[in-house]
């Protein structure tokens, strides 16, 4: 007899929004046991979608880039989809999709709704708290990307059931970053730098939460002590102009490089000597996971889920947020280490990612969540009391 596949629908705000590892995890699930589809609240439709390329159905509830504060047509279309496809689990990401999901799964009779929280401070105001009262009551589980996020949800929401809050860490394609064959000097050449430069790097969105003004200030101190130091910022974002203006006022401006988005980030990591993360708020940053998977020694701020990623053994490389002097001190300390000492730190970081944050490891956790929740839903149907 053919085994019934568990039908899972992911609900996202829009294509190309939040960068996350969940899509990679879901697409790697056993196709004989799980049937996957992806739903976006709004368009515009993407020319190429990861799910469509993998042979899964993708639906946009509205072609509008912004459907307004609330869209009844989008809600009713979601209800129809859940019924037509007999969805077992609706896995909702971020607040707005979860709000739609809570209503739609109630109307459609969908057995399981999961709410996924990707960062800190998501319960920002009274309106959000009131909404979460309804959402969290409907959700079978609230999945948090770090223990720090789980604690934040507990502290900022009334009467939330702690038993509903689970941690499913962000993850990384370990082999992609660990198996890079390019040499350090060659990668530095791709960055426009010299083989004997000592390169600090930051990768990610240039946004206020990344605390990059403090990294620039810290680098100004470092450059005085480490003449060969260079700072590379890979990424783009709303803070770029302000950061460039700050850099232009610094004596070391020629050593600060805004390189924007670059393809082949796994190879470019090899051109860095140290990864520096100066965030003032984080859930669980994927860039840090990627840098560690690439074998880089990392210095990072003590916020959100970052201490969980580094672990106890690398806690000496945590610094307070918004403290440029402390960040500079650690940057100088690690620059003055021998190559062998830095390589040992990087190897330890790489091993931690392989054991705790690789796609293979975290995918098993997600599979167990899906199977446990659908089995619990079936048990409730058999025994309503």
φ, ψ of residue 249 to 5 degrees: the values are -85, -5
Question: And the tokens for 135?
Answer: 């959402």
Domains 6-171+359-382 and 174-356 share a fold: yes
CATH architecture for segment(s) 6-171+359-382: 3-Layer(aba) Sandwich (3.40)
Give the class (CATH, top level) of 174-356: alpha beta
Domain ranges of the chain: 6-171+359-382, 174-356
CA 98 to chain centre: 18
Question: And the tokens for 314?
Answer: 């690398």
Task: List Cα–Cα distances, 326 to 43, 222, 314, 318, in angstroms.
Answer: 44, 11, 16, 9
Q: Give residues with Cβ within 8 angstroms of 356, minimum separation 6.
A: 169
Question: And the tokens for 77?
Answer: 């279309």
Nearest to 143 by CA among 164, 158, 120: 164
Q: The whole model's pTM is what?
A: 0.90
Q: What is the full per-residue pLDDT of the chain (385 aa) written as tens digits? A: 446 799 999 999 988 665 568 899 999 999 999 999 999 998 777 777 889 889 999 999 987 766 566 889 999 999 999 999 999 999 999 889 999 999 999 999 999 999 999 988 767 667 777 777 788 889 999 999 999 999 999 988 878 899 999 999 999 999 999 999 999 999 999 999 999 999 999 999 999 999 999 999 999 999 999 999 999 999 999 999 999 999 999 999 999 999 999 999 999 999 999 999 999 999 899 999 999 999 999 999 999 999 999 987 667 899 999 999 999 999 999 999 999 999 999 999 999 999 999 999 999 999 999 999 999 988 888 776 5
Q: Give residues with Cβ within 8 angstroms of 301, minimum separation 6.
A: 211, 277, 278, 279, 280, 282, 318, 319, 320, 321, 327
Following CA atoms 336, 338, 340, 342 in sequence, which dihedral angle do they give, to the nearest 10 degrees?
0
**Pairing between strand 6-14 and 318-319?**
unpaired
Nearest to 173 by CA among 362, 308, 378, 367: 362
Question: And the tokens for 163?
Answer: 């038993």
> Whole-angstrom distance between the N-terminal and C-terminal Cα of the chain?
30
């Amino acid at each position: 007899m053919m085994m019934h596949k568990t039908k899972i629908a992911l609900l996202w705000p829009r294509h190309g929004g939040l960068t996350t590892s969940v899509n990679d995890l879901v697409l790697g699930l056993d196709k004989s046991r799980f049937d996957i589809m992806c739903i976006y609240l709004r368009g515009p439709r993407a020319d190429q979608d990861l799910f469509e390329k993998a042979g899964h159905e993708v639906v946009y509830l509205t072609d509008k880039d912004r459907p307004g504060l609330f869209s009844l047509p989008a809600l009713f279309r979601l209800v129809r989809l859940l019924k037509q496809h007999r969805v077992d689990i609706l896995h909702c990401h971020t607040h707005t999709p979860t709000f739609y999901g809570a209503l739609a799964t109630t109307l459609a009779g969908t057995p399981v709704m999961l709410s996924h929280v990707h960062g800190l401070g998501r319960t920002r105001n009274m309106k959000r708290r009131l909404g979460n009262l309804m959402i969290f009551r409907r959700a079978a589980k609230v999945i948090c990307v770090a223990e720090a996020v789980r604690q934040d949800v507990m502290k900022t929401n009334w009467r939330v059931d702690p038993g509903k809050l689970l941690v499913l860490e962000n993850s990384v394609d370990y082999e992609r970053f660990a198996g890079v064959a390019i040499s350090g000097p060659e990668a530095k050449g791709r960055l426009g730098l010299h083989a004997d430069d000592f390169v600090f790097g930051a990768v990610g969105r240039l946004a206020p939460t990344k605390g990059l003004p403090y990294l620039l200030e810290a680098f100004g101190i470092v450059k005085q002590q480490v003449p060969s130091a260079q700072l590379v910022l890979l990424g783009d974002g709303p803070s770029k102009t302000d950061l460039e203006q700050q850099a232009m006022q610094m004596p070391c401006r020629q050593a600060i490089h805004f390189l924007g988005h670059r393809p082949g980030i796994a190879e470019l990591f090899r051109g860095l000597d140290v990864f520096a993360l100066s965030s003032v708020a984080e859930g669980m940053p994927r860039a840090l996971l990627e840098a560690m998977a690439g074998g880089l020694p990392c210095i990072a701020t003590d916020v959100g889920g970052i201490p969980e990623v580094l672990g106890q053994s690398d806690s000496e490389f945590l610094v307070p947020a918004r403290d440029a002097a402390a960040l500079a001190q650690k940057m100088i300390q690690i620059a003055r280490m021998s190559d062998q000492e830095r390589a040992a730190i990087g190897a330890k970081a790489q091993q931690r990612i392989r054991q705790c944050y690789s796609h293979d490891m975290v995918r098993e956790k997600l599979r167990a969540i899906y199977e446990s929740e659908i089995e619990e839903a079936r048990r409730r149907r058999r025994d309503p009391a």
